[in-house]
A and B are shown apart, each in its own frame.
Chain A
Amino acid sequence: MAVYMVSQAQARQLRPKMTAGLIFVAGIAVVLLGQLVLNMILTQDAYHLRSLKLEKRDLTTQVQILQEEVDSLASPQNLADAANRLGMVANPASVLLDIENDKVFGKPRPASAANAAVASANLVANAAMGTVSDFSEATVASAEVSESVETEKPAASGLVLEQGLIPASPTR
């Protein structure tokens, strides 16, 4: 270890510069802080992303549930059965109107169950049919009577009546 003799002026020159040190330390602090913030944001986003993904999964499941319900209600099996319960009969006689020439093609004839070509009720299997339209002549009649009365039945035979509308189809 050696000891040197220096003048005061030289000593002052040799003293480390306060500002340089401060800038250096502040620089490091800023960089570290920036990194910290960046990391926090990224991590936060990762958690946010995860929660959004979970939400997406839930919503996808929800969409699937609703899609299956719509599928089932829209299936021809359900429509045939529902129409049949309402007493509807397919009319095989087709009558077409030609608007341009004011012409009627075919003879209009009332539909009757006796001359219907095919049984109205569904005969075609569908194991995927879960939700079915729950209306019949009776329920439609009761819907008219119980207007503005909100009825809720147990889910098994569930039927929610909305004001003055055809009964909404229940879920399962």
Chain B
Amino acid sequence: MGKHGSLSRRLGAFALIMVVMVLGLGIRLVDYQVVRAEQIREESFKSRSITQTLPALRGQIRDSSGQVLARTVFRYDVNAAPKNVGSIFKTVDGVRTERTVEQIVLELAPLVGLTPEELTARLAGDGEYSNLAKKVDAETYNAIRELGIPWIYFDPFADRLYPNGAVAGNVLGFVGSDGVPLAGLERQYNTCLAGIDGQETFERSAEGVRIPTSNVTTQPTQNGGTLNLSIDANLQFFAQQVLADTVNDLGAQWASAVVVEVETGRLLAAAEAPSVDPNDPAASDASDRGSKIFQAAFEPGSIMKALTTAMVLDTKTADAFDKVKAPDYMKLDFAGGWIKDSFGHEPYNLTLGGVLRFSSNTGMSNFGVKIDKETRHNYLQKFGFGSVSPLRFEGESSGILHDYKDWDKMTNYATTYGQGISVTGIQMAYAYQAMANDGLRLDPILVENCVSDDGTVLYQPKQNSTRVVSKETANLNINLMEKVVEFGGVGQNAGIDGYRVAGKTGTAQIKDGSGYGSQFAISFYGVAPAENPKFVVGVTIYKAVGVSNSLQATFPFKAIMQQALKSYRVPPSTSKSPDLPSGKYGEVETRS
């Protein structure tokens, strides 16, 4: 029995050890699986899992034909870890080759835009980080990657590219190096363009490979929408070319040109010079980085007369045949008040057509002041003056239209010929649009819509219209404005072969302190073809050196209008402008 006894004792001891071990494991198990389970799971998940922000790509800005004016591209910062810098060894077919740091530096230096000496200096030391180049393009990035240098790494980031440079740059605005929009439409429509960043969490192995069955919690990325503009990039480029030329020739401070599609109110071009290249806004003066068409208000001068004549016709104060006295100098009914015309002449007897054609200040005010101040003020408001346009462009000016009760005796006269009021280019262009569109002013359209990737329309402006003058008034007024281009000394230069053009010149003195200085804002605003207007083109040239009449504004007007008519295939006019009096004594003029 002794043998049996020792066997069962040993078995007993074995069982006991087993029980103790199982118990031990059990306690551990309970500790891991129940007591500290949550904590351990979390720790382990943390060490394996990685959360990535999936940046939303900023949407494109396109012109009316789909040409991309702004797109998002990737740029790369090139960095090195100096402490790892060393030769690269490679074994090809059993042959071990070495590329020394010196050799690598010679290959790398031109790619990062440094001299070999500068590059060597940046690679010195034993730091983890040394920047070699910022914002290199994809081509350079690929070239550097092909060198296969293990101690070079890249930080990619999204950047903004404007493929057409300064074309519409002043309207587009630009984006700062941190991706924050700083000006223009980029800023105004940021909500639609920016999109929403996504997030993704997954687990990965030691080699960085995603574990296939691991949980992925993703907040989907919503890329920015595409902003579609009414701008015609080709026409815009042409207009900018013309203006750049003009500003260079005349030494002007700036020039602007607006092209409006009459029947739709779409803004086809909003060009200015100097312009800003949104790829490199720092290259332009801070004052040239915005859009003067929206932000700069100026006293319009005689381009306003074509609106005053419409008021006279619309209120039936006079018709196209009624005449007023128009001397070259006229004393007013208050002390120290006088008005004179821009040139000396014998006393004329002018019709409304004659007032426009000779651009007579005296004649215009004699017609204009027959209408009471309040009525004229209301017309000016309906034409869109004194308030920002519905576009609400960044920093848009409302111009200055004083309450009629605050008009002093001089302002009462001066507003009829465009002094004592200040306007923006966009306001004046749409006042002319109203005239061209049978008296109905349409809200300007610059942004057609903003559309997401899947075609959902995220934003679309609502277009309202304002009845300013009657259809008859508008059409007759356009006929009167044709006389400027048919017979006007300066206006004739705005004529385009084959087309009936209606328009008005403007030479406005610029306020210099309290009085008027010797510098001018010269303009030509016009429409064509007069019998069925398709386009309004408005050109303003500000502070041209030594220029005191509007002749120089007619050339850019003509060039841009001609280009618009040509590129939109508008057939030439087949009719003639009706015979309406525009002569010195109210007679009908005929072309010699």
Q: Which residues of A have CB within 8 Å of B137?
A: 65, 68, 130
> A75 touching B565 by the CB < 8 A rule?
no
**B22-30, B241-249, B312-320, B463-471 - interface stretch:** B241-249
Smallest CB–CB gap between A104 and chain B, Å?
10
Q: Which residues between 37 and 63 of chain A lie within 8 Å of chain B, taking CB atoms?
A: 42-43, 45-47, 49-50, 61-62
Indicate which residue in B142, B165, B166 contacts A61 across the interface (CB closer than 8 Å). Answer: B142
Q: Is B119 in the interface zone, CB < 8 Å from A?
A: no
> B498 touching A106 by the CB < 8 A rule?
yes
Bound form: Cα–Cα A71–B283 in Å: 21
Indicate which residue in B162, B209, B238, B279 contacts A47 across the interface (CB closer than 8 Å). Answer: B209
Q: Is A74 in the interface zone, CB < 8 Å from B?
A: yes
**B421-429, B454-462, B555-563 - interface stretch:** B555-563
**A9-17, A24-32, A93-101, A138-146 - interface stretch:** A93-101
Kindly supply a per-residue 1/0 record for chain B positions 222-240, scoring 1 wherever the CB is within 8 Å of any chain A CB and 0 otherwise: 0000000000011001101
Q: Which residues of A have CB within 8 Å of B162?
A: 126, 128
Q: Which residues of B have CB within 8 Å of A93?
A: 497
Bound form: Cα–Cα A126–B71 in Å: 14
Q: Is B87 in the interface zone, CB < 8 Å from A?
A: no
> A68 touching B277 by the CB < 8 A rule?
no
Bound form: Cα–Cα A149–B69 in Å: 39
Q: Is B352 in the interface zone, CB < 8 Å from A?
A: no
Bound form: Cα–Cα A107–B498 in Å: 8
Using a Cβ–Cβ cut-off of 8 Å, how many residues does chain B contribute to the interface with A?
49
Given contacts A76-B234, A105-B571, A172 and B161 within 8 Å (CB-CB): no
Bound form: Cα–Cα A46–B161 in Å: 35
> A127 touching B142 by the CB < 8 A rule?
no
Indicate which residue in B161, B213, B497 contacts A71 across the interface (CB closer than 8 Å). Answer: B161
> A117 touching B559 by the CB < 8 A rule?
yes
> B277 touching A127 by the CB < 8 A rule?
yes
Given contacts A96-B572, A119-B245, A61 and B138 within 8 Å (CB-CB): yes
Most chain B Cβ neighbours within 10 Å, of A49, A74, A123: A123
Bound form: Cα–Cα A68–B74 in Å: 11
Q: Is A72 in the interface zone, CB < 8 Å from B?
A: yes
> B498 touching A75 by the CB < 8 A rule?
no
Q: Which residues between 103 and 136 of chain A lie within 8 Å of chain B, taking CB atoms?
A: 105-107, 117-119, 122-130
> B283 touching A43 by the CB < 8 A rule?
no
Given contacts A46-B209, A77-B165, A105 and B498 within 8 Å (CB-CB): yes
Q: Which residues of B have CB within 8 Å of A47?
A: 209
Residue of A nearest to B169 (CB): A125
Q: Is B141 in the interface zone, CB < 8 Å from A?
A: yes
Indicate which residue in A65, A71, A76, A106 contacts B139 across the interface (CB closer than 8 Å). Answer: A65
Indicate which residue in B142, B244, B280 contacts A124 across the interface (CB closer than 8 Å). Answer: B244
> A61 touching B562 by the CB < 8 A rule?
no
Given contacts A72-B163, A94-B566, A128-B165, A105 and B241 within 8 Å (CB-CB): no
> B166 touching A124 by the CB < 8 A rule?
yes
Residue of A nearest to B569 (CB): A96
Q: Which residues of A have CB within 8 Å of B142?
A: 61-62, 65
Given contacts A77-B165, A127-B165, A94 and B565 within 8 Å (CB-CB): yes
Given contacts A64-B138, A117-B559, A125 and B277 within 8 Å (CB-CB): yes
Smallest CB–CB gap between B186 and chain A, Å?
15
Residue of B nearest to A126 (CB): B165
Bound form: Cα–Cα A47–B204 in Å: 12
> A92 touching B572 by the CB < 8 A rule?
no
Q: Which residues of A have CB within 8 Å of B331?
A: none
Q: Is B68 in the interface zone, CB < 8 Å from A?
A: yes
Q: Is A80 in the interface zone, CB < 8 Å from B?
A: yes
Indicate which residue in A1, A74, A77, A106 contacts B572 across the interface (CB closer than 8 Å). Answer: A106
Q: Is B211 in the interface zone, CB < 8 Å from A?
A: yes
Kindly supply a per-residue 1/0 record for chain B positions 67-81, scoring 1 wherever the CB is within 8 Å of any chain A CB and 0 otherwise: 010010110000000
Q: Which residues of A have CB within 8 Å of B562?
A: 92, 94, 117
Given contacts A43-B212, A75-B163, A106 and B234 within 8 Å (CB-CB): no
Q: Which residues of A have CB within 8 Å of B233?
A: 76
Smallest CB–CB gap between A21 and chain B, Å?
25
> B141 touching A50 by the CB < 8 A rule?
no
Q: Which residues of A have CB within 8 Å of B167?
A: 75-77, 124, 126
> B497 touching A106 by the CB < 8 A rule?
yes
Smallest CB–CB gap between B246 and chain A, Å?
9
Residue of B nearest to A92 (CB): B562
Bound form: Cα–Cα A72–B137 in Å: 14
Residue of A nearest to B210 (CB): A46
By a beta-carbon cutoff of 8 Å, the part of chain A in contact with chain B is 1, 42-43, 45-47, 49-50, 61-62, 64-65, 67-68, 71-72, 74-77, 80, 92-94, 96, 98, 105-107, 117-119, 122-130, 171-172
A/B interface sample: 25 pairs, CB < 8 A: A42-B213, A50-B210, A61-B74, A64-B73, A67-B73, A68-B138, A68-B139, A68-B163, A75-B165, A76-B233, A76-B234, A77-B165, A77-B167, A80-B237, A94-B562, A94-B565, A106-B497, A117-B242, A117-B562, A117-B563, A122-B241, A124-B166, A124-B244, A124-B275, A128-B163
**Other 12 A-B pairs with CB < 8 A, given A76-B167, A105-B572, A124-B166:** A47-B209, A49-B210, A61-B74, A68-B138, A75-B167, A107-B497, A118-B241, A118-B245, A124-B165, A125-B283, A127-B279, A127-B280
Closest 6 CB pairs of A and B: A126-B165, A117-B559, A71-B163, A94-B566, A123-B244, A127-B279
